Amino acid sequence: MLFHLLYLICFLLLSALAFYTMAVGWRQRQSRKTNRIKPHPELLDRQGRLIKDPLLVVRVTPRDADFRSRLEALYNQSPDEEQRPER
């Protein structure tokens, strides 16, 4: 009889602890949903503002010899050229 009572007390204590842990996790997840979504750090400049550079990635097989130079010329002619650092 004493063993059953001890078992019941342990079970009730562990189940109460489990429900408390679930409730805390649920509250934290609910509070995180209301927070603003943060952009990836690579999309921010040094001041923390979003960058305005073109984000297109082009994978090219070298079929044309001056293809790379034409792509760089296109990139250098973009409207935000004055903000781009020199290489």
Sequential pLDDT tens for the chain (87 residues) = 888 999 999 999 999 999 999 999 888 877 766 556 778 888 888 898 888 877 766 665 666 667 778 878 888 887 765 555 555
What distance in Å separates the CA atoms of residue 48 and residue 64, rounded to the nearest whole number? Answer: 39
Give the pLDDT confidence score for residue 2 in this predicted structure.
87
pTM of the model: 0.36
Q: Residue 80's closest CA among 52, 57, 49, 43?
A: 52
pLDDT value at position 73? 84
Question: Taking Cα atoms as reference points, which of 25, 85, 9 lies closest to residue 51?
Answer: 85
Distance of CA 4 to the CA centre of its chain: 50
Rounded-to-integer distance, Cα 17 and Cα 52, Å: 50
pLDDT for 81 equals: 52
